[in-house]
Structure 1
Amino acid sequence: MPTITVHPEGWKPAKGYANGMVAEGRVLFVGGQIGWTADQVFEAQDFIGQMVQALKNIRDVVEAAGGSVADIVRLTWYVTDKAEYVANQGKVGAAYRDVMGYHFPAMTMVVVSALVEDEAKVEIEATAVLAPLTDPEKGR
């Protein structure tokens, strides 16, 4: 589904996120994804590696529902170490673009003391707006 980025007149440019998104269609809520594989194994112990895997997991769920990265309208990030995130912002941006391209939905980041999985350094949840069903029997 096409989305429209909302940016109020006179505001400084948003860097790496949108202030708002407008979309119409089916809403997909993607539960928080952490940096483990489909087999629930942490192959990466570092923040960037786990972030990349979490984003790939989100992409996989959206694609399984018949959508694409461009359909994602919101990401909420939960990170356990703000200093690690800030120290790696350049790497974060490059890794993000490798998985998500130049699609920057509305985003929020929250620093938390811990996540349920002890090894997890980041958890990301997403909202996507998908095209209407064309084949209701297949769910797409």
Structure 2
Amino acid sequence: MHRTLQPDGWSRPRGYANGISARGRQIHVAGQIGWNAQQQMVSDDFVAQARQALRNIVEVLACDGATPEHLVRLTWYVTDRERYIASGAALGEAYREILGRVYPAMSAVQVCALMEPDALVEIEATAIVPDEPL
């Protein structure tokens, strides 16, 4: 499926991979925020929005037969770094609830705002589904 890339001598990262190597069909998921299928924000709570954004990613992946295990990259855009850090335990719980024990390459970036005024987090995803054997 994929191989985690971890340079010799580097400390193991917590909750993500430094790199992933994979071959197959690529799926690129646009930034997902904490709204439902009717584009209504589910909450003004950071973790609730992140949970919904992750659910949205899983639903988009399913449209092409992919699952969280196929994720190779997540990029998180957060409007408040301190809130992101303070939410660590609850965020980890929500992450495992939706994605399981999947640890793709990840980046988190603080931004001054997102396009939807009530959004606190936006998450982009890349998945690679292995090629079918011939």
Shorter-chain TM-score tier: over 0.9
What is the distance in 2 between the residues matched to 1:21 and 1:131?
13
Q: How does 1:1-140 map to 2 (within 5 A)?
A: 2-132=1-131
Unaligned runs of 5+ in 2: none
Q: Secondary structure at the match of 1:70?
A: helix
Shift of 1:132: 3.5
Query: How many residues are treated as equivalent by the alignment?
Result: 133
State the 1:68 CA deviation: 0.7
TM-score (normalizing by structure 2): 0.96
Structure 1 unmatched runs, 5+: 135-140
* Structure 1 stretches of at least 4 aligned residues deviating more than 2 Å after TM superposition: 131-134
- Larger deviation: 27-36 or 124-133? 124-133
* Percent identity of equivalent pairs: 47
Deviation at 1:112, TM superposition (A): 0.2
What secondary structure sits across from 1:15 in the alignment? coil
Whole-Å Cα distance in 1 between the matches of residues 94 and 42 of structure 2? 16
Q: TM-score, normalised by structure 1?
A: 0.92
State the Cα deviation string for residues 29-68 of structure 1 (Å, max 9, x = none): 1000000001101121100000000000001111111111
RMSD: 1.2
